[in-house]
Structure 1
Amino acid sequence: MAMRYRVLQKTYKQMVECTSPYIHGLGLFCRRDIEAGEMVIEYAGTVIRSVLTDKREKMYDARGIGCYMFRIDADDVVDATMSGNEARFINHSCEPNCYSKVITVDGQKKIMIFALRRSATHQLHYNYFTNKARLAHMYLTSRVTSNVTSIIM
């Protein structure tokens, strides 16, 4: 896995590009065919302690800045808001074509995005809501109309 990670750091820009989808904002798209199980991109940024996330989120809100954070584990979070890469623009879908997985490289935890199925020049999506508590919150606040049980991982 570590070798795949090192190769990806040099080649991911040949695989993906950030551009504006037809809906709004930015999204991450395949530049070439991506196979199921293929490592696509690292969700990169500054690793911060979990206790700092609320403070940073309030600061970003006060400045009118979008907040891009991804939890590694109970203790650490990747904050990609000011120092992230293109992975922060992967949008949510209840029918994702990617998934996230934490791997360890040289003793450091990394959040990696992998292809769930083969994708060819499509926008990349993953499910932001991977546990039941988040799923319930999402369902109650946004009234998801798709099959909610299909996104429980």
Structure 2
Amino acid sequence: MKTLADLLLLGDPRLYETCAPVLEAELPLVAGWVADLHAVMEDIRATYRFGRGIAAPQLGIMKRLVYLNVDRPLVLINPELVEMSAATFELWDDCMSFPNLLVRVRRHQQVRVRYRDANWQPQTWQVEDASLAELLQHECDHLDGVLCTMRALDPQAFRWRPTPSGA
């Protein structure tokens, strides 16, 4: 089982690579990958007090796989953003691969994503909630080797996150 020590940190060249699609023949591996993603996300939550989603490449699994856990666990295999709203908004984005840094970025308010679920069934999700739409854009960026630092609004769009008490 992977731990927080396995999380790739800013500067690791693997974070800038484009991931390969998950193949149907690899479906038996997905449950183990998701267990690792879940475990590391729980470590981040306990240590840094944030974390709603994690992408496989953040653990060196160079596959197009995203694990979300907002209200419930959700596995997105080979997610593809197929539509994004014209309306955008700005926010301070965070990332598990650099947990003490916040980056000011612009994201689309709504997205539509196509993916396969953990049973390899095709799914489409129209995300109207801006917070979830932002999360999906962030995680899908990871699959293409794009970090939110690369989407910073300007050179002053960075700030340190206050350390949570007890961390």
TM-score, with normalisation over the residues of structure 1? Answer: 0.32
